[in-house]
Amino acid sequence: MSIWRVPASGCRSADGERQPQPSGDEADAAERGDGAQPPGIGDSQDIERPGEENDACQEAEPGTFWKRLVAGQQEEHQDVSELVKNSLVPNGGRVIAEQDGFQAMSAKGAEADGESAEQRRDSHCQCIRHDATRVYTPGGRSIQWNQLIQIEIHWIFLKQKGGWGYESAFVFCVHCVTSNRLQLKPMNIIADDRCAEYSRRGHPERPARIVRTVEKLNLQRELEITWTRPGLIEDAAILRVHSQRHLARLDQPMDFDADTPFYPGIAGYARASAAAAIESMKSARAGQTAFSLMRPPGHHATSQEVMGFCYLNNVAIALVEALATGVRRAAVFDFDVHHGNGTEEILLDWEGAALFSIHQHPCYPGTGAAKRGSNCFNFPVLPHTPRLEYRRVLSQALDGLKRFEPELVAVSAGFDAYARDPLAEETLEAEDFHWLGQSIANLGVPVFNVLEGGYSHDLPELILAYLKGLSGL
C-beta of residue 470 within 8 angstroms of C-beta of residue 335: no
Range 322-338 average pLDDT? 98
Which one of 184, 216, 238 terminates a domain?
184
Q: Are residues 285 and 189 in the same domain?
A: yes
State the pLDDT at residue 323.
98
- Asked whether residue 3 is assigned to any structural domain, the reply reads no
CB count, 10 Å around CB of 20? 17
Q: Phi first, then psi: what are they for 397, rounded to 5°?
A: -65, -40
pLDDT at 32 over 90: no
- Asked whether residue 105 is assigned to any structural domain, the reply reads yes
**In 3D, which of 172, 283, 278, 265 has the Cα closest to residue 234?**
278
pLDDT at 128 over 50: no
Count the residues in the chain.
473
The C-alpha atoms of residue 82 and residue 45 are separated, in whole angstroms, by: 30
The C-alpha atoms of residue 137 and residue 69 are separated, in whole angstroms, by: 9
- Asked whether residue 94 is assigned to any structural domain, the reply reads yes
Cis peptide leading into residue 362 (ω within 30°) = yes
The helix/strand/coil state of 353 is strand
Q: Are residues 190 and 149 in the same domain?
A: no
CATH code for the domain in which residue 366 is found: 3.40.800.20
At residue 2 the predicted structure's pLDDT band, cuts being 50, 70 and 90, is low
CB-based contacts of 179, cutoff 8 Å, min separation 6:
49, 148, 149
Which DSSP category does 372 fall into?
B
Q: Determine which of 78-87, 327-336, 339-348, 419-428 has the lowest per-residue pLDDT on average.
A: 78-87
State the pLDDT at residue 186.
85
Q: What angle do CA 220, 223, 229 make, to 5 degrees?
A: 90
pLDDT at 144 over 80: no
Is the model more confident about 79 or about 198?
A: 198
pLDDT digits (tens, 9 = 90+) for 3-29: 543 233 334 333 333 334 444 444 444
C-beta of residue 60 within 8 angstroms of C-beta of residue 90: no
Which one of 169, 184, 199 terminates a domain?
184
**In 3D, which of 235, 359, 342, 256 has the Cα closest to residue 298?**
342
- Asked whether residue 2 is assigned to any structural domain, the reply reads no
Q: Are residues 151 and 200 in the same domain?
A: no
From residue 236, how far is each of 47, 232, 241, 281, 367 by CA, in Å?
A: 42, 12, 9, 17, 29
Query: What is the residue-averaged pLDDT of the chain?
Result: 73
The C-alpha atoms of residue 64 and residue 49 are separated, in whole angstroms, by: 23
pLDDT digits (tens, 9 = 90+) for 88-119: 333 333 333 233 333 222 233 333 344 443 44
Which stretches does DSSP call E strand in 249-318? 290-292
pLDDT digits (tens, 9 = 90+) for 388-440: 999 999 999 999 999 999 999 999 999 999 999 999 999 999 999 999 999 99
pLDDT at 309 over 60: yes
Is the model more confident about 121 or about 423?
A: 423
pLDDT at 47 over 90: no
The C-alpha atoms of residue 120 and residue 196 are separated, in whole angstroms, by: 64
Q: Determine which of 56-65, 245-254, 330-339 has the lowest per-residue pLDDT on average.
A: 56-65
C-beta of residue 407 within 8 angstroms of C-beta of residue 61: no
At residue 362 the predicted structure's pLDDT band, cuts being 50, 70 and 90, is very high
The C-alpha atoms of residue 76 and residue 418 are separated, in whole angstroms, by: 39
What are 136's strand-pairing partners?
94, 142
Which DSSP category does 333 fall into?
E
Q: Determine which of 152-166, 301-315, 336-350, 426-440 has the lowest per-residue pLDDT on average.
A: 152-166
The C-alpha atoms of residue 339 and residue 356 are separated, in whole angstroms, by: 10
- Asked whether residue 376 is assigned to any structural domain, the reply reads yes
At residue 1 the predicted structure's pLDDT band, cuts being 50, 70 and 90, is low
Give percent of the chain with pLDDT exceeding 70: 61
From residue 110, how far is each of 120, 164, 242 by CA, in Å?
A: 7, 8, 59
Q: Which residue segment(s) compose the domain that 111 sits in?
A: 46-184
Catalytic residue list: 300
Q: Are residues 289 and 348 in the same domain?
A: yes
pLDDT digits (tens, 9 = 90+) for 212-233: 999 999 999 999 999 999 999 9
Number of domains in the chain: 2
From residue 336, how far is each of 140, 160, 297, 313, 358 by CA, in Å?
A: 28, 52, 11, 14, 7
Q: Are residues 297 and 369 in the same domain?
A: yes
The C-alpha atoms of residue 289 and residue 280 are separated, in whole angstroms, by: 8
- Asked whether residue 172 is assigned to any structural domain, the reply reads yes
- Asked whether residue 4 is assigned to any structural domain, the reply reads no
**Identity of the residue numbered 262:** F
Q: Are residues 258 and 286 in the same domain?
A: yes
Q: Are residues 174 and 300 in the same domain?
A: no
CB-based contacts of 356, cutoff 8 Å, min separation 6:
331, 332, 333, 334, 377, 379, 397, 398, 400, 401, 404
Q: Are residues 262 and 385 in the same domain?
A: yes
Which one of 184, 214, 232 terminates a domain?
184
Q: Are residues 75 and 39 in the same domain?
A: no
Q: Determine which of 49-58, 190-199, 452-461 has the lowest per-residue pLDDT on average.
A: 49-58
Q: How many CA atoms lie within 13 A of 382 on its CB side?
A: 4
pLDDT digits (tens, 9 = 90+) for 433-463: 999 999 999 999 999 999 999 999 999 999 9
- Asked whether residue 1 is assigned to any structural domain, the reply reads no
Q: Are residues 18 and 60 in the same domain?
A: no
C-beta of residue 190 within 8 angstroms of C-beta of residue 229: yes
pLDDT digits (tens, 9 = 90+) for 273-296: 999 999 999 999 999 999 999 999
**In 3D, which of 194, 187, 230, 191 has the Cα closest to residue 214?**
191
Q: Are residues 27 and 85 in the same domain?
A: no
Q: Are residues 57 and 106 in the same domain?
A: yes
State the pLDDT at residue 110.
34
